[in-house]
């Protein structure tokens, strides 16, 4: 679909109440492939390729801030005739989901954060290094196609002898593979710099989380997440009385890929056991006013 003159790719299937799936940095809607078929049996599922990712447009002058990405998700919903739903975001997508709930609270029935960014300063040192000023000039070397081709050969060789890489390795590899494309690299650099600097995550939703108190919130994390620490889940839940936390033991940064059956069950149980929020603009305005200090 073309929105505002630029292509936005998405996957849309199923019937029932709406679930919107938002992927992480250097990812795409394909990250949800292990859970979409099961979810689509009960729900309408929309999985979007954020601008700069997957098959969506990657303009050099694009705005890759969380606010802009959240607006694209809203605009895609409107273009498809979708009013409101459960917004699910993983990693960077978690930050987008929280921004969506903040900007468009009346369209967010529930909020699901999966290994989410925006809940603390800590993040893997690799992203911090990649965010240092000037390092993007090394990206063509770090993400060279020759390394991609070697990696593909190794993975194909392993599959031929019956060894399948773990879901975690596959997700990391798909991210690396995507960054061998020059346009994707440029978009990645702009996206990364909008949320991470040399000291860690530079965008925090903690000050606005209490405004989401009327929106049922599920926080899912892997206990072995080496990209964003799982303690961010419990820290966030402490400020959200209408939330619950599910820690997947032995799982890393991609619970929906590493344990898809449990993820589908957990998400389904959450939706079944909570009433969708109906946060009007007036109600949200009152919450903002109550949080203000004059």
pLDDT (tens digit per residue) in 136-159: 999 999 999 987 887 788 777 867
Q: Is the same domain home to 15 and 112?
A: yes
Q: Is the same domain home to 276 and 132?
A: no
Q: Is the same domain home to 66 and 210?
A: yes
User: Which residue range is the domain that position 19 belongs to?
Assistant: 2-122+202-291
- Confidence (pLDDT) at 41: 98
pLDDT digits (tens, 9 = 90+) for 207-249: 888 878 889 999 999 999 999 999 999 999 988 888 999 999 9
- What does the pLDDT average to over 130-135? 96
Query: Domain ends where: 195, 228, 244?
Result: 195
**Domain count within the chain:** 2
- Confidence (pLDDT) at 293: 64
Residue 294 predicted with pLDDT over 60? no
CATH number of the CATH domain containing 71: 3.40.50.1820
Query: Domain ends where: 153, 180, 195?
Result: 195
Q: Is the same domain home to 79 and 41?
A: yes
pLDDT digits (tens, 9 = 90+) for 38-69: 999 999 999 999 999 999 999 988 999 999 99
Residue 114 predicted with pLDDT over 80? yes
Catalytic residues, which ones? 91, 225, 253
Question: Long-range contacts made by residues 121-125, C-beta under 8 angstroms, separation at least 24?
Answer: 121/199, 121/200, 121/201, 121/204, 122/200, 122/201, 122/228, 122/229, 122/232, 123/196, 123/200, 123/201, 123/227, 123/228, 124/226, 124/227, 124/228
Q: Is the same domain home to 212 and 77?
A: yes
Query: Domain ends where: 147, 170, 195?
Result: 195
CA-based nearest residue to 214, from 234, 241, 195, 187: 241
Q: Is the same domain home to 30 and 162?
A: no
Percent of the chain at pLDDT > 90 equals: 81
Q: Is the same domain home to 165 and 118?
A: no
- Confidence (pLDDT) at 160: 76
Q: Is the same domain home to 236 and 285?
A: yes
Residue 265 predicted with pLDDT over 60? yes
Q: Is the same domain home to 9 and 41?
A: yes
Q: Is the same domain home to 211 and 190?
A: no
Q: Is the same domain home to 99 and 22?
A: yes
pLDDT-derived band at 270, boundaries 50, 70, 90: very high
Please enumerate in sequence order all residues whose Cβ is within 8 A of that of 216, keeping only pairs 6 or more positions apart, or say none: 109, 110, 111, 242, 243, 270, 274, 275, 276, 277
Q: Is the same domain home to 206 and 275?
A: yes
């Amino acid at each position: 679909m073309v929105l505002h003159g630029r292509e936005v790719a998405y996957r849309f299937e199923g019937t029932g109440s709406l679930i919107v799936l938002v992927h992480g940095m250097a990812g795409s809607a394909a990250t949800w492939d292990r859970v979409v078929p099961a979810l689509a049996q009960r729900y309408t599922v929309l999985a979007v390729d954020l601008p700069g990712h997957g098959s969506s447009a990657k303009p050099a002058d694009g705005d890759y801030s969380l606010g802009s990405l959240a607006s694209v998700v809203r605009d895609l919903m409107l273009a498809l005739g979708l009013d409101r739903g459960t917004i699910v975001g993983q990693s960077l997508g978690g930050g987008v989901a929280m921004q969506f709930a903040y900007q468009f609270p009346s369209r967010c029935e529930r909020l699901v954060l999966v290994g989410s960014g925006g809940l603390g300063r800590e993040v893997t040192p690799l992203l911090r290094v990649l965010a240092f000023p000037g390092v993007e000039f090394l990206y063509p070397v770090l993400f060279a196609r020759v390394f991609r081709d070697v990696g593909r050969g190794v993975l194909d060789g392993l599959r031929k002898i019956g060894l399948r890489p773990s879901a975690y390795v596959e997700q990391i590899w798909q991210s690396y593979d995507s960054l061998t494309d020059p346009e994707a690299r440029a978009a990645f650099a702009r996206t990364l710099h909008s949320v991470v600097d040399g000291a860690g995550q530079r965008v925090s939703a903690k000050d606005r989380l209490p405004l989401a108190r009327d929106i049922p919130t599920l926080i899912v994390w892997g206990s072995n997440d080496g990209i964003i620490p799982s303690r961010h889940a419990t820290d966030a839940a402490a400020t959200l009385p209408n939330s619950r936390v599910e820690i997947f033991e032995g799982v890393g940064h991609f619970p929906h890929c590493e344990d898809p059956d449990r993820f589908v069950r957990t998400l389904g149980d959450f939706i079944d056991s909570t009433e969708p929020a109906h946060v009007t603009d007036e109600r949200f305005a009152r919450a903002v006013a109550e949080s203000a200090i004059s």
